Structure 1
Amino acid sequence: MTYFFKIQLVFITILLISCTNNDDNIPVFPDGSTESVNVWVQDSMKRYYYWADQMPAKPDYHLPVKDFFKSLLAPKDRFSFIVNTEDSSTYPRSIRNMYGFDYTIVQRADGTVVTVVKLVLQNSPAFNAGLKRGMVLTRINGKLITASNAEALASAIKDQTSVELTVGNWNNGAVENEKTITVYYGFSFEQPVLSKIFSKNGKKTGYLYIYDFPDGMTQVLNQKFAEFKSAGVQELILDLRYNYGGSVSSAAALCTLIPSGISSDSPFIIFKGNKNGGEVKRTFARQIKYDPKALDFADLRMNALGLSKVYVLTSNSTASAAEIVINNLKPYLQVIQIGDVTLGKDMAGFTIEDRRKPRKISWQIHPVVYKVANADGVGEYSNGISPQITVNEYGSLPLLPLGDPEETLISSALNGGSVKAGKEPGSSSVKILYQSDVPSAAVGKQSL
């Protein structure tokens, strides 16, 4: 299932019964008023928000709740948000969570601008309409896509309940077999973990494409690694290029299944909060247990591959728990990152909501609560984690299916990090101009 809050690093839910305000300078407002909700928001943020010491001393309590919340945020905060559970219009919207696909606009060496479908979720509205990874978009709602109007078109899509796409197939520098399809706003089912075993140069390499980290995925991960171990897999490729994150416990379970030499007492993560939260250290075993559906550490270790290195495929869409996997494995084995710099969400949070019965406040806060670091105390990657091997996924078109051994990033990992020559002249100088799932500022910082 594709939820709006997948990018939020959720590992625990605060059952907030009430917040008592101890600041005599804050006026008392009638229950149920906008102002009273804002006081609750402020008090909650004072307790848990990582940058609580930077909040304004005298905010305007008369602002609408969403505007009031924004007025409390630190300038560097890109990730905290608030929603009204009784008003769907307050929820963050994206093309991916509304329709089930994402696209990238690239400029080829000859100056040609091409819009490429990079991701189509299984059992999503886009999937059911016939959209596939590697297709080329030429028009959205009848408008020709250009680098200059891409952001405006993407924004308009989020305000609609259907989108008309003109798509075709890329063949030797041209778009063929164009057709128009309509994708309706709707539900995307939970995404499966894709696994493959590649045999090359006498070695067996396991491949896992993991779209996100929901709670309750340890059974699936354990099964995949049992298959890898039974097959004699000697190397591993983790494809996290479109993984927004999710549960830290599921990320810890994945990390448990990879290296040699760790025990239940091995440190996994450090959470660094404000003056109220302090610093919290957790082992692999303890972090896994925060997911009530998880297998325990000992059961997972029975199928661990015991590797000394792992290849991880990344992009600007790799975030949160996926970045934790990269950073927190580094103390225990060699991590060879291939692709592009990650999004840079070195933070964790939990949901704050009113669980009184009857509930009096329908708003739900998703704040940044902690900065995160690995067992060596290394974190602070708000500018993203840079790969050792930078590879442009769009260097060769059309994009191949995820899991195909000839796909650009997978092929690079199978070849020990080397990049095969592009199929098209000048493919190495392809530039990314816009991505539907990445803020424009993040696209601008790339070096491709």
Structure 2
Amino acid sequence: MLFIIAAFIVSCTNRDQDLPEFPEGSTEYVNRWVQDSMRRYYYWADQMPTKPDYHLPVKDFFKSLLSSQDRFSFIVNTEDSSTYPRSVRNMYGFDFTVLQLPNGEVATIIKLVLKSSPALNAGLERGMMIKKINGQTITAANVTQLTSSIPDHTVLELTVGNWMNGSIVNEKDITVYYGFSFEQPIMSKIFEKNGKRTGYLYIYDFPDGMTPALNQKFAELKSAGVQELILDLRYNYGGSVSSAAALCSLIPSGISANSPFIIYKGNKNGGEVKRTFSQQIAYDSGALDFNTLHTNALGLNKVYIITSNSTASASEIVINNLKPYMQVVQVGETTLGKDMAGFVIDDKRKPRKISWQMHPVIYKVYNANGEGGYHHGIIPQTVVSEYATLPLLPLGDPDETIISSVLNKIYLRSVTQQSPVKKSEILFQSDLPFTEVGK
């Protein structure tokens, strides 16, 4: 969820002499370590309270240090799994959106099912409709109560069906058990019309170690002679900046290993750090180097990127940091607005004395032209809701609402004029509460 730039050793040395000392192993001792670390690295360190309450539980103490502008910093105890962020996606492997349709009815749509996940194993598919959760029919009145309780369960009983002519048909009961979802593959397709080939890549996230997979996909696209590229980042929370840089190195023309890629700006201790494509890619020790990747670069002047309000972090860096080098045509919805980066802070002493691990905001990020500041999200040139037409079609289907909109632009296809339809109201999205982790 955060960018792993480095692992810093943080000790309890060099403390201010005017601050109290506490016995090792106490809650207060841990909180002092948290405060010392945050004062050194936290982007908003100058806004931290000067006299916090050291007697608070560690998680509450951490929250008390955070800026009101901070939606993303969080802390976990590596010896207590209950302190880790929980979401429908990381527990069960799927995400859903609850809509209030123009006719007033409530529709709960499964929009994402991860490969090799408990949800997929249970039979869930993108486009299915959820009618009941744990035996209760979802309504506008109970949606908050029903959905907020999901992470508290280890078993979900769902009544699902298919959407047909404005109603749910073929209802059935499905049980989804809490479990692990495996690494998600990159999906690729090639669309063609009148001899013009368009590559499509659906990229779920940016883990370290993904450069071989990226290299292979772009080798296939280049060999096929694609002339246009669509990146589908609509559900991409982010991940490794190095992997995002590797992806960016494979798309535009006119860049080299030494072309500037990113600028990090921290607090008075962190200062400003600039990195080239090559330097940023190399921060993943197992990554293929820039020159190896660049042999399969497509050398394009334009890229189409599909986004939603679940597009965050490293995926937003892809959008913003390609702009100095090519035309970026963004289609979909405004992104989340995580123009920040950080690294893990934990106790590296041997033996370790503190089991807590912090994930704070440490840097604001900018592109080669110094452009950033998209904390309210990056707004697409063409706004398209994937819920404009139901049921949702599979990702990668050329008739899927947003992909079809992009292909219309690429192939200049004529679009049948339709009567305006009142927009559905989004009541809940299961993949958005993660932004409030640690608050």
The answer to whether the 8 Å contact 1:326/1:335 transfers is yes
The answer to whether the 8 Å contact 1:109/1:426 transfers is no
The answer to whether the 8 Å contact 1:106/1:430 transfers is yes
- What is the match of residue 128 of structure 1? 121
Instruction: Assess, with a 3 A threshold, how the Cα gap between structure 1 residues 404 and 264 changes in structure 2: closer, same or farther.
Output: same
1:30 aligns with 2:23: yes
Alpha-carbon deviations, 1:337-378, whole Å to 9, x = none?
A: 000000000000000011222111000000000000000000
1:82 aligns with 2:78: no
Alpha-carbon deviations, 1:374-425, whole Å to 9, x = none?
A: 0000000000000000001001111001111111111111111789879997
1:363 aligns with 2:363: no
1:200 aligns with 2:193: yes
The answer to whether the 8 Å contact 1:396/1:422 transfers is no
Bigger shift: residues 338-347 or 148-157: 148-157
> Which amino acid in structure 2 is aligned with residue 354 of structure 1?
D
> Which amino acid in structure 2 is aligned with residue 435 of structure 1?
Q
* CA-CA distance at 1:148 after TM superposition: 3.1
**Of 143, 149, 152, the match for 2:142:** 149
* CA-CA distance at 1:151 after TM superposition: 2.4
SS at match of 2:409: coil
- What is the match of residue 169 of structure 1? 162
Instruction: Assess, with a 3 A threshold, how the Cα gap between structure 1 residues 180 and 439 changes in structure 2: closer, same or farther.
Output: same
- What is the match of residue 413 of structure 1? 406
- What is the match of residue 352 of structure 1? 345
Bigger shift: residues 182-191 or 144-153: 144-153
1:9 aligns with 2:3: yes
TM-score of the superposition, structure 1-length normalised?
0.94
> Which amino acid in structure 2 is aligned with residue 202 of structure 1?
G
Cα distance between partner residues in 2 of 1:390 and 1:440 = 24
Instruction: Assess, with a 3 A threshold, how the Cα gap between structure 1 residues 375 and 441 changes in structure 2: closer, same or farther.
Output: closer
- What is the match of residue 370 of structure 2? 377
CA RMSD of aligned residues (A): 1.8
Sequence identity (%): 70
- What is the match of residue 3 of structure 1? none
The answer to whether the 8 Å contact 2:87/2:434 transfers is no
Instruction: Assess, with a 3 A threshold, how the Cα gap between structure 1 residues 237 and 326 changes in structure 2: closer, same or farther.
Output: same
Cα distance between partner residues in 1 of 2:105 and 2:339 = 36
Residues 180-191 of structure 1 aligned to structure 2 (within 5 Å): 180-191=173-184
- What is the match of residue 299 of structure 1? 292
The answer to whether the 8 Å contact 2:87/2:433 transfers is no
The answer to whether the 8 Å contact 1:311/1:413 transfers is yes
Alpha-carbon deviations, 1:63-115, whole Å to 9, x = none?
A: 10000000000011000000000000100110100000110112333222211
Instruction: Assess, with a 3 A threshold, how the Cα gap between structure 1 residues 64 and 131 changes in structure 2: closer, same or farther.
Output: same
**Of 226, 230, 252, the match for 1:237:** 230
SS at match of 2:7: strand
1:68 aligns with 2:56: no
Instruction: Assess, with a 3 A threshold, how the Cα gap between structure 1 residues 440 and 259 changes in structure 2: closer, same or farther.
Output: closer
* CA-CA distance at 1:150 after TM superposition: 2.0
- What is the match of residue 430 of structure 1? 424
The answer to whether the 8 Å contact 1:147/1:434 transfers is no
Question: What residue ranges of structure 2 are gaps of 5+ in the alignment?
Answer: none
Cα distance between partner residues in 2 of 1:339 and 1:19 = 47
> Which amino acid in structure 2 is aligned with residue 14 of structure 1?
F
**Of 233, 248, 255, the match for 1:262:** 255
Cα distance between partner residues in 2 of 1:357 and 1:60 = 28
SS at match of 1:182: strand
* CA-CA distance at 1:246 after TM superposition: 0.1
- Number of aligned residue pairs: give it: 435
Cα distance between partner residues in 2 of 1:320 and 1:427 = 33
Runs ≥4 residues deviating over 4 A: 417-428, 439-442
Cα distance between partner residues in 1 of 2:225 and 2:131 = 45
Alpha-carbon deviations, 1:7-46, whole Å to 9, x = none?
A: 2222322233x13143122111100110000000000000
- What is the match of residue 309 of structure 2? 316
- What is the match of residue 140 of structure 1? 133
Cα distance between partner residues in 1 of 2:94 and 2:101 = 22
TM-score of the superposition, structure 2-length normalised?
0.96
The answer to whether the 8 Å contact 2:85/2:434 transfers is no
1:44 aligns with 2:31: no
Cα distance between partner residues in 2 of 1:227 and 1:411 = 23
Residues 210-249 of structure 1 aligned to structure 2 (within 5 Å): 210-249=203-242
Question: What residue ranges of structure 1 are gaps of 5+ in the alignment?
Answer: 1-6, 443-448
